[in-house]
Amino acid sequence: MRPTDLSLAQARLALDARQISARELTQAYLDAIAALNPRLNAYITVTAEAALTAADAADTKLAAGQGGPLEGIPLGIKDLFCTAGTRTTAASRILGDFTPPYESTITRQLLRDGAVFLGKLNLDEFAMGSSNATSAFGPVENPWSRRNDPDTRLVPGGSSGGSAAAVAARIALGATATDTGGSIRQPAAFCGVAGIKPTYGRCSRFGVVAFASSLDQAGPIARDVMDCAVLLRSMSGFDPQDSTSVDMAVPDFAAAVGRGVRGMRIGIPQEYRMAGMPAEIEALWSQGIAWLRDAGASIVDVSLPHTKYALPTYYIVAPAEASSNLARYDGVRFGARVAGADLTELYEKTRAAGFGAEVKRRIMIGTYVLSAGYYDAYYLKAQQVRALIKRDFDLAWEQCDALLTPATPSAAFGLDEKQDDPLAMYLNDIFTVTANLAGLPGMAVPAGLDGQGLPLGLQIIGRPFDEEGVFAVAGAVERAAGFSALPGVIA
């Protein structure tokens, strides 16, 4: 068995038993990155030297029996998390060579627990996208390809495309990611790996480049459900530096993975049965329902009547918040600057040159819906519909303990498909965006392959702060699915 074959949980045991050193494990990942990243483009920045130094420090601690829960575990960090002394780009030209003088709370906690950082992972610019194609550092390739069409390069999903592709290709043992409308769950599903967006407030947003602050939430992408549980525990917890961070104890998520679903009520939202849904997605969903029934859960039909309004609501709320958050990129305090005759021209030229097309589009939509005369018709209306979407879930929880849905409306698509039509791209998040609007935990688990041999995922949505329930259901789905297929491009 090669070091990169070990899951995070297996690597933990091997490191603790000194069957492998942190340096050997880290070196194996750095070698895999050197071999595969030129093709996949999953990393924007690789911090090889720092990783080996951290691995040596981990070995010293492990030898003394003092290791943390992630001691010596090599991770990739989405390049939206500020890392002190390491360039952070948000995959945008406008940040230039921005090198944060401080560490995000989540990466600080991962370092506290002994993790080794391999580098910074590619993403859609400012996390705005569903294919990783909006990155200023080029697209990421999905390590999977279609069985009968192996030459067509597929997208890894987005915005955490680098995170999902790196975990799937085994050039990171686990990764941080963020999810504003589906940016953890959709790429995880496209790449055949697991990913969880926890409840809003569970993970600190301090030091994470902001997109839409009332929707943004960080979480892990990892090889399986257990690895996600281990990573989420280290990432979670109260942080006074984020005013929306919730002061609640962090449960032992890993203990919930094997708990089973006997006695749980699993809701099946009827409105997620969309017209034109591919038969394979529908079949996988039915299979998932059967798995959970066989595992002892009771299946309940539930209704979330405002589901069809979730995406249009999102495309008011998210751009509105983005237009405000991205006002800080003005060429004055950090990042790139384009000179102008006066300050206004400096702002306008800097932002025209620094932002990509999708980011500009969203800033302008956000500015429009917040502008005088349109605020009530668009922004206020969207906030009201958002309240109704949340109420749909509140009512559903009277009937069930968790929901099972498909993760995405399709498998991964080609790098050249859907890129010209923003609306077609937005529909990728149709099953995931509701959890962001309602602030709920949601997880994608690989559950099967489509006819082309591409992975498909199922999604579990849970009650607020019941990530343990989500992990219990996800664990049951994972055991029943026995998903063991591997992508063509792998370390």
Partner 1 sequence: MSVDIATIKRVATLSRIHVEPAALPGLAQEINAILGWIEQLSEVDTTGVEPMAGGGATALRWRADVVTDGGQAEAILANAPDREGEYFGVPKVVE
240 near partner 1, rule: CB under 8 A: yes
DSSP 265-312: EEEEEGGGS-TT--HHHHHHHHHHHHHHHHTTPEEEEE--TTGGGHHH
Candidates 294, 371, 375, 399: give the one binding partner 1 (CB under 8 A): 371
217 near partner 1, rule: CB under 8 A: yes
**Minimum CB distance to partner 1, residue 69 (Å):** 27
378 near partner 1, rule: CB under 8 A: yes
Question: How far is Cα 289 from Cα 322, in angstroms, rounded to an integer?
Answer: 37
Candidates 374, 399, 486, 488: give the one binding partner 1 (CB under 8 A): 374
To which H or E segment does residue 161 belong? helix 161-168
SS3 letters across 32-69: HHHHHHHHHCCEEEECHHHHHHHHHHHHHHHHCCCCCC
φ, ψ (nearest 5 deg) of residue 265: -105, 120
424 near partner 1, rule: CB under 8 A: no
CB-CB contact of 477 with 458 (8 Å): yes
Give counts: helices (H), strands (E), the chain. Answer: 16, 11
381 near partner 1, rule: CB under 8 A: yes
DSSP annotation of 146 = B
**Minimum CB distance to partner 1, residue 436 (Å):** 8
Of 96 and 453, the one with the shorter C-beta distance to partner 1 is 96
CB-CB contact of 209 with 334 (8 Å): no
**Minimum CB distance to partner 1, residue 241 (Å):** 9
Of 384 and 399, the one with the shorter C-beta distance to partner 1 is 384
User: Both tokens of residue 458?
Assistant: 């199922």
332 near partner 1, rule: CB under 8 A: yes
395 near partner 1, rule: CB under 8 A: no
Question: How far is Cα 297 from Cα 472, in angstroms, rounded to an integer?
Answer: 11
Catalytic annotation present for 78:
yes
> What order of strands is seen across the sheet that includes strand 116-121?
43-46, 116-121, 74-78, 174-179, 217-222, 194-197, 442-449, 455-462, 402-406, 265-269, 298-302
Candidates 10, 214, 298, 303: give the one binding partner 1 (CB under 8 A): 214
393 near partner 1, rule: CB under 8 A: no
Question: How far is Cα 457 from Cα 168, in angstroms, rounded to an integer?
Answer: 14
Q: Which of 21, 78, 197, 418 is catalytic?
A: 78
Question: How far is Cα 218 from Cα 147, in angstroms, rounded to an integer?
Answer: 33
Choose the stretch contacting partner 1; rule: CB under 8 A; options: 114-122, 125-133, 378-386, 482-490.
Answer: 378-386
Of 332 and 486, the one with the shorter C-beta distance to partner 1 is 332
In 63-127, at which residue ranges do the beta strands (DSSP E only) sit? 74-78, 116-121
DSSP 224-255: SHHHHHHHHHHHBS--TTSTT----PPP-HHH
Q: Which of 92, 135, 183, 234 is catalytic?
A: 183
**Minimum CB distance to partner 1, residue 161 (Å):** 22
**Minimum CB distance to partner 1, residue 174 (Å):** 25
Of 5 and 421, the one with the shorter C-beta distance to partner 1 is 421
Catalytic annotation present for 183:
yes
Of 17 and 372, the one with the shorter C-beta distance to partner 1 is 372
Of 285 and 347, the one with the shorter C-beta distance to partner 1 is 347
From the number of C-beta atoms within 10 Å of its C-beta (0-12, 13-18, 19+), residue 150 rates as exposed
Question: How far is Cα 374 from Cα 368, in angstroms, rounded to an integer?
Answer: 7
Site for partner 1 in 71-130 (CB under 8 A): 96-99, 101-102
CB-CB contact of 40 with 165 (8 Å): yes
313 near partner 1, rule: CB under 8 A: yes
Catalytic annotation present for 213:
no
CB-CB contact of 470 with 441 (8 Å): yes
137 near partner 1, rule: CB under 8 A: no
**Minimum CB distance to partner 1, residue 59 (Å):** 32
Choose the stretch contacting partner 1; rule: CB under 8 A; options: 150-158, 224-232, 358-366, 481-489.
Answer: 358-366
Candidates 68, 260, 278, 340: give the one binding partner 1 (CB under 8 A): 340
Candidates 8, 155, 209, 385: give the one binding partner 1 (CB under 8 A): 385
Count of residues interacting with partner 1 (CB under 8 A): 75
388 near partner 1, rule: CB under 8 A: yes
Of 61 and 360, the one with the shorter C-beta distance to partner 1 is 360
**Minimum CB distance to partner 1, residue 437 (Å):** 8
Of 116 and 128, the one with the shorter C-beta distance to partner 1 is 128
User: Both tokens of residue 3?
Assistant: 């070091």
Site for partner 1 in 256-295 (CB under 8 A): none
Which of the residues are catalytic? 78, 159, 183
